[in-house]
Amino acid sequence: MNASVEKVIKSLPQNLLKRAAFAVKKVIFPTRCLACRSLFHAKARSSKDSYLHDSENVFERVITPFFCATCAFGFLPIVPPICPWCGIMFKSRQGEDHLCGECMASAKKFRIARSVGTYQKPLMDAIHCFKYKGKTQLAQPLGAMLFKSFISCWDVRSVDVIVPVPLHDRKLKMRGFNPSLLLVRHWKLFASELKINMPTIPVVRDVLQKARWTEPQTGLVRKKRIENVKNTFSINDSSKIAGKRILLVDDVYTTGATVNECAKVLLRGKALLVDVLRLARAM
């Protein structure tokens, strides 16, 4: 390279160089939408951009590098009025928070459950790409959304231990990763980006075990889901959760059968309380 040209390049701001490199890369290697597989032009993010800084459009910010505009459209966040226990969002947008019929009819073992958005497109597509297609590059942006929900619903000092819902060893070997674990892996980094003085909350992945293989919950009615997960989980080392306030993390809340069973086992292991946080909530 000509010495004068090299000198000019080195004098350019790093941010400008990164944007130029990104533009060249996109011309040579266009982005393919993870949902519909069409080619599109992904919006470049500067080094100062964060998934977390825009509180109103977090989903759009995290998903547009991976989904085209059509597939990224239609995200519906969970907003009041909701059930204060299980966190389901009511179809009617009138009135205040109140218990849903399911929670009135059947008490839950967890204290509260909250979710980021409704389990429909495009969040459903993002979760499917992440879980079933092995697109682990979505773990950090989806984890950022989950973290934003966490800090909006909980005091960061009100949780002692984070427990990802575990997979059976066989399922873990088949999939190669535990989605719930990957979603919380960067939370300390997110707290630092937002300048939140968050204590170190240990992520304990070996205390709750899925000891029995179960068929997928998809397609099962509520009663069958409860039967399917009954006596499925066990505690490996109760000393890690005894007297602790637990945040149980998973991807999708449908009937709540899995997290309710997990909460029951954790409380049996002497946990003080169990709260639940998930990416999506079925309506």
- The answer to whether position 6 is within a domain reads no
**CB 183 within 8 Å of CB 138:** no
- HSE of 88 in the Cβ direction (CA atoms, 13 Å)? 16
Task: Indicate whether 133 belongs to any domain.
Answer: yes
Let me know if residue 189 belongs to a domain. Answer: yes
Q: Total structural domains in the chain?
A: 1
Q: With respect to residue 119, please indicate whether it lies within any of the assigned structural domains.
A: yes
Containing 210, the helix (H) or strand (E) segment is strand 208-210
pLDDT in tens, 163-194: 999 999 999 999 999 999 999 999 999 999 99
Confidence at 147, pLDDT banded by 50, 70, 90: very high
Residue 101 domain-assigned (yes or no) = yes
Buried b (16+ CB within 10 A) or exposed e, 5-35: eeeeeeeeeeeeeeeeeeeeeeeeeebebbb
Q: Is residue 142 part of a domain?
A: yes
pLDDT attached to residue 8: 46
Q: What is the pLDDT of residues 99-109, one digit of tens each?
A: 999 999 999 99
Domain presence at residue 112: yes
pLDDT digits (tens, 9 = 90+) for 217-245: 666 666 777 777 788 899 999 999 999 99
**Tokens at 71, concatenated:** 């597939």
Report d(CA 144, CA 171) in Å as an integer: 25
**In this prediction, what percent of the chain has a pLDDT beyond 70?**
81
What pLDDT, on the 0 to 100 scale, is given for residue 267? 98
Of 247, 194, 254, nearest in space to 220 by CA: 254
Q: What is the C-alpha radius of gyration for the chain, rounded to an integer number of angstroms?
A: 21
Residue span of the structural domain in which 178 resides: 26-281
Assign 47 a pLDDT band (cuts: 50, 70, 90).
very low
Mean pLDDT confidence for 251-261 = 92
**Amino acid 214: pLDDT:** 73
84 has pLDDT over 70:
yes
- pLDDT, the chain, mean: 87
Residue 102 maps to a domain: yes
What value does the mean pLDDT take over residues 194-203? 94
